[in-house]
A = this chain, B = another copy of it.
């Protein structure tokens, strides 16, 4: 059965997300909500993207000689200097990425895009790049929202976007060991479509699922919407093959548990293309659940809902935890009701009567076998009720699941209507979560409002751990004339507030260029030095994905 988990969606349009035909227009009530909340005179189409013909792309800075070497290695069909390919590889999908491209700015496009067909091709590209001094930017789904695939040339002759789309096969499935080996360029829906006939799932569904690739998951330590149940990408990955400038490297044990020294898998996982190109990955797979059951609960406050999440995790029976656990703060709950176009009048009145005038909405999905899932849900319900939750029935969770991958389309729609929207995410221990939530939220609101306009911040928890939770902030305001400056201002303030709160600079978006200035605060100067040392061993010339992850030396920054 094709669902939004397995359906193939075309690769994203150059200026935004996915196939724009799949986007839904804003409802009248959503437009009203936004106009009032953001104090805008209009939310009609104000800033549509420029036509393709209006895109400005820089000159190709690569010699025919080098191009001819690449063509000899890969075949002429798999090396492109066409504008269309270069523009499609000139960055990721952060709001500033989109703002630039929507205005026609593709000046920083890579000089050439290569499409290797296998690991050996990748090896040859790296060898040519070393010899010819080319920077190499590995490119999977291109969904980075932190500048992770920015085609930075650095001190090199030219910059190559290395697109892994042709490495898209399931190589091996091992039902006994419950592992599967894929080529790294396979996208989320294709992973699931390949596993489905065998009765398995990877269970990794980030919002970028329909575009993102397995290699990207591993390279960025992504988390998925069901990672509370299945684990994060760094929990799922067992081993990886990576082609580095210094040679091929296999990391991850072939054994289920090992004490054989430091685990280099955890060095490659999260390396964001700065050490080499991940070409294959072996991952844990799980039998597709027979059954799913859904629940939605309302809490009197975000804090009360968070406490209910903690109790599920800490006091619930081992194994009862829902696979999906999401909790919206009262603002996000309000906007979900408005933007989702729900008929929520009766529901709101009912909750108000029950003492929840500004409710905080929680959504759950339990997965498992029919025989045991009811018991798990029932025991969880007892804890949720004890935590002042009101049961709302399964519909809100089903609706969320139906639209689980549509968020990025909404952003394109909002940008077109002159509304600035961006996200920031972190994770914090239980003891720091509330303070982190308050301080980051306040900092974002203040930064948004410096222009005197309206602003809106909504937050949710989407991942629950023994020691804490993730926090995901989505914020909106009128788009300023210089949207890039607006974005830089808000992100800087939000990131600093996260650092000050002692939370992590990123729970699942990774470091890229945008978070790189904050990494040292998290891992220390000596930690950064260790990363630089590892990079020096595997990529001594520094050709791999320049400018990402590892902060530049202080002297270089001057």
Contact = CB atoms under 8 A, between A and B. Distances in A.
Given A251-B527, A429-B254, A466-B178, A259 B534 contact: no
Contact of A260 (B177, B246, B519, B526): B519
A56 to B, nearest CB: 33
A507 B260 CA distance: 7
Contacts of A262: 266-271, 531, 534
Contacts of A250: 524, 527
Contacts of A509: 259
Nearest to A178: B466
A538 interface: yes
Contacts of A469: 256
Interface string A423-449: 000111111000000000000000000
Contacts of A451: none
Interface in A245-263: 246-251, 253-263
Contacts of A502: 254
Contacts of A538: 526, 530
A526 B246 contact: yes
A470 B238 CA distance: 16
A317 B367 CA distance: 11
A368 B379 CA distance: 15
B259 A466 contact: no
Contact of A255 (B177, B178, B310, B427): B427
Interface in A488-547: 502-511, 515, 519, 522-524, 526-527, 529-534, 536-538
Contacts of A519: 260-261
Contact of A427 (B256, B265, B529): B256
A259 B176 contact: no
Nearest to A223: B257
A432 to B, nearest CB: 8
A320 interface: yes
A549 interface: yes
A417 interface: no
A235 to B, nearest CB: 9
Interface in A452-481: 463, 465-470
B251 A429 contact: no
Contacts of A247: 526
A238 B503 CA distance: 14
Per CB-CB distance, the 3 closest pairs between chain A and chain B, nearest first, are: A319-B319, A266-B266, A256-B465
Interface of A: 174, 176-179, 220-223, 232, 234, 238, 244, 246-251, 253-272, 284, 287, 310, 314, 317-320, 368-369, 372, 426-431, 463, 465-470, 502-511, 515, 519, 522-524, 526-527, 529-534, 536-538, 549-550
